[in-house]
Structure 1
Amino acid sequence: MSESSTDSNCSRRYCKCRSEIKHWTSWTDLNPRRRFEACCNNRNSKRGLHFFAWVENERCPRGKEILPGLLRRLRGMEDELRATTENFRLMEEEKNKLEQKLREEEEEIKILKKQNLGIGQQVVVLKGEILSYQLRQRWFRVVVLLCFMIVILFINMDDLVV
């Protein structure tokens, strides 16, 4: 039997066994919320040896029929609420983990963008060097061509002079 004790400011009473008599509320399916007085030792012993008395009259038969079902529904709803609360807590944890991961990914994106800018600058420098190299290569070809022409010209002049 599920019970709860409430102390009142009334004068204290004692059982034959010298234990204090307290006010209790029954939470069983047969006597839901029905109040009684009992010795603290009454819960573990035979009722005839220790004090026990109902404080309220027995509930009507209709109340006895309805209250257990209502209590079961209430317990079911409480269990459902606990499960929903636990699911909500787990979802909150998952949300926090995902938000943290998102922040980390955003930081990594910032780092990669900075690296990309550095690579872009290197590409611009390399393109400039390539253009400079191509320009030098053209001048080199021009110089080689001129030298070749001069050599051919000198060879042809020797033939003309002789």
Structure 2
Amino acid sequence: MEIVVKVIGAVLILAASLYLAYEINRGLTKELEQMKSLYNIMLKLKSELYYLNDTLPECFLHLSKMTDFPFDKWFYEMYESMSKEPEETFGDIWDRCTRSLIDNSLLTIADIEGLFELKDKLGCMDREVQEKAIDYFLIQVEEKRKQLYLEHSQKKKVIITLCAFVGLMTLIVLF
């Protein structure tokens, strides 16, 4: 009977350590998914500006309805701020809302540093400048996605190995 309890305990310890690895890896995968969503959203923004000739507040409202959390909140917050009396400049609104996006998402400042640079170009009235700025940002996001993918694939292997190792070491100490 004692051996059965030890075997069950060993299986549970290994399962818990591997589940921990799974949860950590899932967080890494969500960060990559959010980068991909950001890329697709910026393509939609470019389309709204260029093809539909919408104003920025209208674009932000449409995008807030078409996207999921945290991007829907980000766009709606920008729409609301721009629709009010002009208390802030576009750059101030963009900075404030982008910082709240960082707080509400898994993305880091390093992941989306290009968004902060985008405020100067998106705030101008020239559609061609806006389009080129978005194109440049899309290139940056794609490069960052590739870099994150490589980093995350290495991190995932290390996380699985470390969690399995910790589980085995725990078994050795307990038995």
TM over 0.5: no
Higher share in helix: 2
TM-score by length of 2: 0.28
Larger Rg: 1
Higher share in strand: 1
Q: Using CA pairs below 8 Å that are at least 6 residues apart, which structure has the higher relative contact order?
A: 2
TM-score by length of 1: 0.30
